Amino acid sequence: MSDRVIIFDTTLRDGEQCPGASLNPQQKLEVARQLDRLKVDVIEAGFAVSSPGDFEGVNRIAREIKGRVIASLARSVPKDIEAASKALKPAKRRRIHTFVATSEIHMKYKLRKAEEEIVRLAVAAVKLARKYTDDVEFSAEDAARSRPEFLYRVYEAVIAAGATTVNVPDTVGWAVPTQFGQLIRGIRENVPNIRKAVISVHCHNDLGLSTANSLAAVLNGARQVECTINGLGERAGNASLEEVVMGLKVRKDLFKVQTGVDTTEIYKSSRLVSKLTGFLVQPNKAVVGSNAFAHESGIHQHGVLMHRKTYEIMHPKEIGWGESKLVLGKHSGRHAFVERLKGLGFRLNDQQMEEAFERFKVLADRKKEVFDDDLSALVEDQISEAVKRFSLVYLHVTSGTGVVPTATVRLKNPEGKTLQGAASGDGPVDACYNVIDRLVGFKGKLTDYIIQSVTSGKDALGEVTVKLSSNGRVEHGRAASTDIIEASSKAYLNAINRLLFAKR
């Protein structure tokens, strides 16, 4: 038995059948180009007979993509197979993928056909497809709920008719891994000519078991797995390509197989499909979710810093991601904080580091995630406090439509004395500046005021930069806070203190 698993990507066919995920021919070609870079073995480009757009998409992919097998789905009826053949004609390597349902419920209620008729349809479809290509795949739709003895008979007949791949779909996500593995083993042991064909599996995720069922099938002899990028597909989706491929790679000790996939292209593929379909990748999605290589817990961060494999079974570079992410938040510990500051170029002594960490904890309680820009602003703000003569103790602002903006400010002077005052202004910031001028006795001019968001989200950190001039000297002040009035006041005080310090 081969130790190589064929990866059959059906993002452009089954994945596109997901409600709302429709792609135009140009978008399908863009995805196919990325699948080519990903080095999947088979690209199922569409269902050629289903619409003119799908036919065009299959045909354009067949013309351009030469390094992969290009497949088109077709029901077991002549017009489907002929349409697939025509659309695939330019392909260097082409496959017609035909199917008919074999479960009792489908035969009774959907097809209204007996077993003998199903076998006849399947064999006739395969024989017709073989007139157009030597690469023919046959799927027994809803195989997981089909009577095994009937499945054996169908597969034996279609292999004799020329099928080179026989697919075992779990069409409605009914199976569980032990059962599905036993079904694959039963096919291997009870279909006399099975060695003339590759056993394939196509699992849906209705019970969240599509990847598990696919891997169980590989353990029991399946050598092709049909899957989609991001697990896209009808209802709950299909087996996720990234999960299947990385499962086989990470646990090679167990599966003892390999694929031809270039895993460093996985992340790009995931984001491209997400962008074109509009289906966002959930943060906790295995392998490609934004949190897949992110650590916030202090215990986990410490472990990763000591040895990455304590909490990561694969390296993000393997999927084309980059580096692991130590997310700084309220659960983070000192180790990750110190390492991040070092990475940003800050060198603080023990006392400064402790003060910075306490500031960080306060900020982390106000923000879900503390970004690098947050940290830079926080530490630079702290460093600037080393030259302060006046510090902000309390700030209260009243402002609104039809209300005169008024600020109450309490400062502490160099001797530790508390100064307090109130003033109005054209706006809340102007009111604060008027109070500060009065309390510190500052006579100068505000020549520049810049405010910007240094991070993303509604709880973003606002950074304020001001420029003050006094007696021919100009100094900048800078501060950051989730409260822009507070940041404005601190930046103003920072510039005043620099002017006073320079004068001294």
In CATH, the architecture of 384-503 is 2-Layer Sandwich (3.30)
Beta strand spans in 128-180 (E): 136-141, 165-170
Domain ranges in the chain with CATH number 3.30.160.270:
384-503
Beta strand spans in 204-330 (E): 224-227, 294-295, 325-326
Residue 354 CA to residue 360 CA, distance in Å, equals 10
Cβ(227)–Cβ(8) under 8 Å? yes
pLDDT at residue 117 in the model: 96
Residue 72 CA to residue 54 CA, distance in Å, equals 10
From first to last of its 504 residues, the chain has per-residue pLDDT tens of 679 999 999 999 998 888 778 888 999 999 999 999 999 999 999 999 999 999 999 999 999 999 999 999 999 999 999 999 999 999 999 999 999 999 999 999 998 999 999 999 999 999 999 999 999 999 999 999 999 999 999 999 999 999 999 999 999 999 999 999 999 999 999 999 999 999 999 999 999 999 999 999 999 999 999 999 999 999 999 999 999 999 999 999 999 999 999 999 999 999 999 989 988 888 889 999 877 666 555 555 556 556 666 757 788 888 888 666 555 666 666 766 777 777 766 777 888 778 877 877 777 777 666 666 567 667 766 655 555 578 899 999 999 998 999 999 999 988 889 999 999 999 999 999 999 999 999 888 999 999 987 666 666 778 898 999 988 888 878 888 889 999 999 999 988 887 876 555
CATH class of 6-277: alpha beta
Global confidence as pTM: 0.70
pLDDT at residue 52 in the model: 93
Beta strand spans in 296-432 (E): 325-326, 391-400, 403-412, 418-424
Q: Which helix (H) or strand (E) holds 187?
A: helix 177-190
Residue 376 CA to residue 370 CA, distance in Å, equals 10
Q: Is 386 exposed, middle or buried (0-12, 13-18, 19+ CB in 10 A)?
A: exposed
pLDDT at residue 8 in the model: 98
Q: Which helix (H) or strand (E) holds 448?
A: strand 445-453
286-306 burial, b for 16+ CB within 10 Å, e for fewer?
A: ebbbeebbbbbbbebbbbbbe
Domain ranges in the chain with CATH number 3.20.20.70:
6-277
